[in-house]
């Protein structure tokens, strides 16, 4: 199988968009030019702020779906490698769900 990537772009309004692909450079070009109508095309320009490679697209999609449910702060903590904050944010989210 092909390599695949999960990626996060930061949009002009400061929000994040998370996606997955097997062709990262091509996907970034398409996001930047507004090729895909929707979220990112309405918030140009975008810049790639994080990506991680996976052995196949199925794994990448699974991780993408998890990250998409995360808060902005949790995504930022992951991208900055602040795993203590990431775990704290995960715990606080879990506490909120139990209420």
Dump pLDDT digits (tens) for 25-54.
999 999 999 998 999 999 999 999 999 999
Q: Report pTM.
A: 0.87
Q: Which CATH number applies to 4-98?
A: 3.40.1440
Give me the phi and psi of 19, to 5 degrees please.
Answer: -150, 180
Rounded Cα gap, residues 60 and 98, in angstroms: 29
Task: Map out the domains of the chain as residue ranges.
Answer: 4-98
**Helix, strand, or coil here: 69?**
coil
pLDDT tens digits along 71-93: 999 999 999 988 788 878 777 66
Helical segments of the chain, H only: 24-33, 57-68, 72-79, 83-98
Nearest to 7 by CA among 82, 90, 67, 85: 67
Assess whether the previous peptide bond of 45 is cis (omega < 30° from 0).
yes
Fill in the DSSP letter of residue 44: -
Least confident piece of the model among 10-24, 45-59, 82-96 = 82-96
């Amino acid at each position: 199988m092909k390599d695949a990537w999960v990626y996060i772009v930061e949009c002009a309004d400061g929000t994040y968009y998370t996606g997955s692909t097997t062709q990262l450079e091509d996907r970034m070009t398409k996001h930047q030019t507004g090729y895909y109508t929707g979220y990112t095309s309405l918030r140009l320009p975008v810049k790639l702020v994080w990506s991680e490679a996976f052995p196949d697209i199925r794994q990448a999609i699974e991780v993408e779906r998890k990250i998409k449910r995360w808060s902005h702060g949790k995504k930022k903590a992951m991208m900055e490698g602040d795993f203590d904050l990431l775990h704290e944010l995960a715990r606080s989210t879990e506490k909120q769900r139990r209420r």
